[in-house]
Amino acid sequence: DHPIIAGGMEYRITCVSMGNPHCVIFCDEDVSNLDIAEIGPLFEHHVIFPDRVNTEFVNVHDRGHLKMRVWERGSGETMACGTGATAVLVAASLNDLSDRRAEVSLLGGTLTIDWKEDGNVYMTGPAETVFESEISI
């Protein structure tokens, strides 16, 4: 829970690594209403993140339900981000805002994230075939 100034506003961020850097921001305002295209780049290119950062904007509904939107470095807003969802759960748990297992709702669907006591984080959610092919060798 660290203060940072971006776009003239102070935000409190929790930074975690899931093999890639994440900056998690817990918001009072409904994340559905955020102008993420304006605010996301302020964090992605902030001076404290020289290699850029993925940024998650989060509403805590209760200890078992979180809602997020994600701004991915180099991509902009995306419908879902598995490492982002796991980062959100870990950050929420570290800040005592959620249990170690919770549902995380993203624009692309809902994932169940479970942070085990041994440090492993598990993600469960629906899968969908988007392409099938055969290659003759």
Cα(119)–Cα(129) distance, integer angstroms: 30
Residue 40: burial class (beta carbons within 10 Å; 0-12, 13-18, 19+): buried
Which of left, alpha, beta for 85 (phi over 0: left; psi -120 to 50: alpha)?
Answer: alpha
* Model pTM score: 0.91
Q: Is residue 130 part of a domain?
A: no
pLDDT (tens digit per residue) in 58-88: 999 999 999 999 999 999 999 999 999 999 9
Q: Is residue 45 part of a domain?
A: yes
Q: Domains in the chain: how many in total? A: 1
pLDDT reported for residue 122: 98
Q: Is residue 129 part of a domain?
A: no
Q: Is residue 28 part of a domain?
A: yes
> In which domain, by residue range, is 97 found?
2-124
Q: Is residue 42 part of a domain?
A: yes
Helix residue spans in the chain (DSSP H): 36-44, 82-94
The CATH number covering residue 46 comes to 3.10.310.10
Q: Is residue 134 part of a domain?
A: no
